[in-house]
Amino acid sequence: MVRGKVRLVGRRPPRAIKGGSNHRIHHLHTATTSLSPLQNSSSISVDVLPPTSRKNQPSHMNPESLLASAAINIGLALVVLCLFSVLRKQHSNDNIYYPRRLSLHHPISFDRSFTLQRFLPSLDWIRDAVRVTEDEILSSSGLDALVVIRLFKFGIKFFAVCSVVGLMILLPINCSVSSGLSSSSSTMDSFTISNIPRGSNRLWVHFSSLCFISISGLYLLHKVIIVLSHHVAKLSSHGLPSSTTVIASALCFSFRINAGVHARQVLLEGIKTRCQYPDKEAVLMKRVEQLRNLRNQPSQLIVLVRQIPLCDEHKTLSCSVDHFFSKYHPRAYHSYQILYTAKYLEELPVAFVAFRSRWDASLASQTQQHPNPLLWITQMAPEPRDVLWKNLSIPYKHLVLYRTGVFVAELLFTIFFAIPVTAVQGIAQFEKLKKWFPPAMAVQLIPGLSSVITGYLPSVILSGFLYIVPYVMKAMARVAGYVSRSEQEQKASSMVFYFLMGNVFFLSVLSGSLLDQIGKSFISPRDVPSRLAKAVSAQADFFMTYILTSGLSGFSLEILQPALLTWEAIRMHTWGRGKKKSNYLYSFPYYRVLPFIELFVLVGIVYAVIAPLLLPFLVVYFLLGYVVFINQMLEVYETTYETCGQYWPHIHHHVVVAIIIMQITMIGLFGLKSKPSASIATIPLVVITVAYNEYCKFRFLPTFYKCSVKDAKDNDELDKDGPSDADCRKALDAYRPPACQQANIATEESTSTQPLLASTV
């Protein structure tokens, strides 16, 4: 009765009473002043919200649904990890759990006796993974693998600090406030910032925690990027072929013609040195001069040696062209044959240029070679094993069209993928689902089934849909025309992350009213922080279950490899019976692993202050991922390329974006909580974060992509033997196209002073 009367006075003006305005004013004064005893009473709570406000609030997951999801995922993870610890001991599974060791011919010890210990679960693989040092990872798997491990370590340290702040400070403050909502006991709101009343000074504690968490994140990022920069500098001092080789694109000359002229000059001058009879020398010189400026096929060179004995085997008869040149000038002759007779070879406007020193290569790669910036484009060459030779045939001017098409395809795929994500969120919001689909109410007839459906089923369905996303993005990145596999996978990794951020994070947050939210944001952009804050705070429980599903179950299935186990079992009992086992050795899927880790970093950072109960789940997630992927890198995956840590600048940028989203969200939350002073105080924090990100772009980003001229010169001076022609030839051999791998092509010395490349540009 009291609530009804107060709400009536607050919502509707009293009826006009006959007798004039003074009487009406007196009635209002009496009604409003009668509230003071009720407001001062500690036993009665007054709710001044309109009746429709609670109806419009989003439905939340109850603790029973969260507990059901946690029990299912933890139980499944324990079963899968125990099963893995048993299967890895069996000799028949060595091609699945030790393919890297088998490829390196490292010994693997198995207990082949039929003992109980062989079939009991053990934790020795976890102990071995924890004992692995960063130097061991760097020496065995490279700096890119160390970047992944460093990301897991960053997550462990950062969210451990956040968990201490959240569980020790924020969670008691959130729970100690009685909101007076009748439904609070059955939802997770009492553990979040939503439980704090408007205008409460307790929000300054959340602001202080926000500042501490933001500064801690930036500090840990700074430490990681400094360590990785030192590792990059050390790797650049190694004598790798890529450190002295430059790839030049958009060349506007005919390399085939000029190289053919050079090879023919070598052959002509070599013939003159082999003439054994002085009386024949004049005839030979005349023939050489006749053919010097002609473009001849190799078979036409027979006129040079006809009736002129040049070798001991053919003193009386004319020497065969193949015999003579193959014996005395094999390299130049073979080059000449390939250039003029191999019609399947296509000339490309791309060249790998090897230099005798790192200093020369660094200067050439960072210098504009032509007045037209679209011609003679130079950059440091990727590793020989990293080159995608097919993409070298794509003209440089067409790359813009290719990559624009990839961007459009990515955008369309992201938009259409919103349909299953919205459907998943409909399952998570069971109250709305019953309204849209009345037969769903039958689920409530089975005790506990609704908790399983709302707590576990949505995250499982979403994980199933997202499984195909990295492979689709990888296929799109292949069309973009990158010259190296590492660039292709870096692009795919970034595409997958932004897809996950848009579809999993923002779309899950704004599900149910996405178009309305976007339309309102365009109409009133100033309300974006408050709308984002309202939506984010309503989805904390869903992301708790998603972390449990993708973290505990996902990492467990990653290490178990159930698909390979099933495939190998079918193969060995059908068409592969009696045949040798296949070694399932694959490269590490950076494009599939890194984006999902970054997504959980994003979710954890955004919810660090809003829902601190989520933080311990993230600590478990990163701890499990740390031991799982150390095992996978050392035992399962091989290293197919080395980018010297170029994945970290992308990770660094994505983490900073997550911190900025957290700060913008808190600006909106403080505004919703009627604490504008805290919102204003958060704005300088956003400015500091953006400024730090810009500083890192200028200070650290070039270290991962370019080798400074000073470092290159210092590394050249550290070489004991110094630059040599042998190293240059070794680099050229390393970048030989696959079609020419069997040919022994090299450069032979010539006394000609004519340039190899004509100055046609």
Laid out side by side, the sheet with 351-354 consists of 351-354, 245-249, 377-380
The pLDDT value given to residue 573: 83
pLDDT digits 0-9 by tens, 344-354: 556 677 888 88
The pLDDT value given to residue 405: 93
Q: Other C-beta atoms within 10 Å of 227: how many? A: 14
With CA atoms as reference, report the closest residue to 346 among 335, 358, 336, 338: 338
CA quadruple 390, 395, 396, 402: dihedral, nearest 10: -80
Low-confidence spans in the chain with pLDDT less than 50? 1-59, 180-186, 307, 316-317, 512-516, 518-519, 521-522, 742-761
The pLDDT value given to residue 455: 57
The pLDDT value given to residue 525: 54
Is the Cα dihedral 631, 635, 640, 641 positive or negative?
positive
Give me the phi and psi of 707, to 5 degrees please. Answer: -100, 120
DSSP-derived pairing of the beta strands 377-380 and 351-354: unpaired
Q: Other C-beta atoms within 10 Å of 354: how many? A: 20
Q: Are 370 and 376 in contact (CB under 8 A)?
A: yes
* Distance in angstroms (rounded) separating the CA atoms of residues 527 and 534: 11
Q: Which long-range contacts (CB under 8 A, 24 or more apart) does 231-236 make?
A: 231/138, 231/143, 231/146, 231/645, 232/143, 232/644, 232/645, 232/703, 232/704, 233/703, 233/711, 235/143, 235/642, 235/644, 236/358, 236/644, 236/707, 236/711, 236/712, 236/715
* Distance in angstroms (rounded) separating the CA atoms of residues 557 and 550: 10
Q: What angle do CA 120, 125, 129 make, to 5 degrees?
A: 165
**How far, in Å, are 181, 432, 681 from residue 58 at the CA level?**
14, 9, 29
The pLDDT value given to residue 1: 40
Partners of 354 in beta bridges: 245
Q: What is the DSSP string of 464-487?
A: HHHTTHHHHHHHHHHHTT-SBHHH
* pTM score: 0.78
**How far, in Å, are 537, 657, 665 from residue 668 at the CA level?**
11, 17, 5
The pLDDT value given to residue 72: 80
* Distance in angstroms (rounded) separating the CA atoms of residues 573 and 567: 10
pLDDT digits 0-9 by tens, 402-445: 999 999 999 999 888 877 777 666 655 555 556 655 665 655 66
The pLDDT value given to residue 274: 53
Give me the phi and psi of 310, to 5 degrees please. Answer: -115, -15
What the block records as the tokens of 383 is: 């590793």
